[in-house]
Amino acid sequence: MSGGLGMQGPENFNILEDLAKVLGGAVGASRPVVDNGWRDYSNQVGQTGRTVSPDLYFACGISGSVQHLAGMSSSKCIVAINTDPQANIFAVADYGIVGDVLKIVPILTREFKKLLFS
């Protein structure tokens, strides 16, 4: 899973870390996040970063620039969460959630915990 500027600040990436821990995944970032110093370059997913192709990829607060899509479009299942229903990321997503990533991801984390650990 990766976070974009929709995460609204580096301090909010902890909610992605929580979900990644539950699902056994890792957290990446879009180039603007890295450029702003919110995450290290080694976390960048995209044309000038890493290419990833997990079974499940969450694009959280990511608009879906061509450069980012180049780094994650081979993922088997893409879930996009964005407040903008017109965001480019929804064109490649298998599932889309229009809403605030800071509210939705904690709910997903809680529900996955229930499902996986009950």
Average pLDDT taken over every residue of the chain:
96
Tell me the residue type at 101: V
Which among 60, 5, 57, 49 has a CA at the least distance from the CA of 26?
57
What tens digit of pLDDT does each residue of 57-67 get?
999 999 999 99
Pairing of strands 56-60, 77-82: parallel
What are the start-end ranges of the E strands in 16-88?
Answer: 28-29, 56-60, 77-82
Token pair in block for residue 86: 């017109």
Structure tokens at 117: 């650990």
**How confident is residue 42, by pLDDT bands cut at 50, 70 and 90?**
very high
Backbone angles phi, psi at 86, to 5 degrees: -95, 5
* Domains delineated in the chain: 2-117 (3.40.50.1220)
Question: pLDDT grade, residue 118 (50/70/90)?
Answer: confident
